[in-house]
Amino acid sequence: MIRVQVPLPGRAYDVWVGARAAERLADVLPEGVRRVALVTQAGVPDLVALDRPVVRCEVGDGERHKTLATVEELCRAFARGGLTRGDCVVAVGGGLVTDVGGFAAASYHRGIAVVHVPTTLLGMIDAAIGGKTGVNLPEGKNLVGAYWQPAAVLCDTELLSALPPREWRSGCGEMAKYHFLTGDDLMALPLDERIARCVEIKASIVVDDEREAEGRALLNYGHTLAHALETAGRYDLRHGEAVGIGLVYAAEVAHRLGRIDAARVEEHRAVVASYDLPRSLPVGTDPDELITLMGRDKKALGAVTFVLDGPRGLEIVRGVERGELAAALEALR
């Protein structure tokens, strides 16, 4: 078992990575918890038995359920189940579950404890780590939410053995992003160490910039186009697949701005390909629509904002011209 600490001042917590990590749940619940609200989905197995009352709350499958209405339903279920300020939410599932479960925990009684038990690769290396919770609006992804750090995260790698191939690739999109954040050859590591290393990378960035004043935005590398593709809602793309396309797109934009050379763009394509991720736009994309949606991205401050590669590594770049954005989209057809 590998233990990675997220050492936030006054809110430090452990991430446990390894086979049967979920069995530690009873041990990581905060002291004094009398009731647990288990937020999960149909088909997710009951991983452990708890020696206290459990209120089971199921959320629907798919991004259409990542809404304020779902958070309201959860909070009402917490109230009906008698949860108090001293109780705990346990979110067991993929990124959607930890996002909505964490946001509901942050909102109920103005904040109760939450423990995440991610069941997907994407959840283990990204969604469940770092305290960002939230839901979508029709106008864009993750536009409403809160920063709410968990009490613990349990990454049980045995759960990944039954993960469908596309869900595995979805996690690989975030893993490819970490490659460009650090240059690490993550694929050379055993699975447990690979996941733990991704957690370490994210934790180091979160500790330096918990609320995304600047540095934490680097974790959005590849996400500007990815979120636009997801918001458009017409393309059969998992999140990590959209991120793979977004990583190549960000490289194309950086190349057109003179920040990187053509060889670095090809390196992006090669790394994304090595994770078995798409590198081209889906058929039928509307460039004008995608550029408009990119302008609504949550890190945009009055202009289209990107995380782009360059001579000093990844940096935030604001005010990219529409013509450059359109040309880079054309390169991905």
Name the residue ranges covered by the structural domains of the chain.
2-163, 173-331
- Output the pLDDT for position 139: 86
pLDDT band at 141 (very low <50, low <70, confident <90, very high): confident
pLDDT at 298 exceeding the cut of 60: no
pLDDT at 213 over 90: no
Amino acid symbol at 229: L
What are the tens digits of pLDDT across the range 221-232? Answer: 999 999 999 999
Read off the pLDDT of each residue in 163-186 and give the average, rounded to a whole number: 94
Options 3.30.1300.30, 3.30.70.20, 3.40.50.300, 3.40.50.1970; CATH for 2-163 is 3.40.50.1970
* pLDDT value of position 303: 67
Query: How would residue 112 be classed by pLDDT, with cut points 50, 70 and 90?
Result: very high
> Of 37-51, 161-175, 204-218, 286-300, which one has max mean pLDDT?
161-175
Q: What global pTM score does this model have?
A: 0.91
Mean pLDDT value of segment 279-288: 95
Looking at residue 199, the DSSP 8-state letter turns out to be: H
Q: In the structure, what pLDDT confidence band is assigned to residue 109 with cuts at 50, 70 and 90?
A: very high
Does the pLDDT of residue 192 top 70, yes or no? yes
Can you spell out the DSSP letters for 243-303?
A: HHHHHHHHHHHHHHTTSS-HHHHHHHHHHHHHTT---SPPTT--HHHHHHHHTT-TT-SSS
Q: What is the pLDDT of residue 46?
A: 79
The rounded distance, in Å, linking the Cα atoms of 245 and 272 is 8
- For the chain, give the percent of residues with pLDDT over 70: 98
Q: Residue 48 pLDDT > 80, yes or no?
A: no
Neighbours of 288 (CB within 10 A): 10
Reported as a single tens digit per residue, the pLDDT across 49-77 is 788 999 999 999 988 999 999 999 999 99
Q: What is the pLDDT of residue 304?
A: 81
Question: How far is 93 from 109, CA to CA, in rounded Å?
Answer: 23
pLDDT at 262: 98
User: What is the dotted CATH code of the domain comprising 173-331?
Assistant: 1.20.1090.10
Report whether pLDDT(316) > 90.
yes
Half-sphere exposure of 176 (CA within 13 A, CB side): 31
List the catalytic residues: 110, 132, 174, 202, 212, 216, 220, 223, 227, 239
Please answer whether residues 81 and 61 qualify as being in contact, where contact means their C-beta atoms are separated by less than 8 angstroms.
no
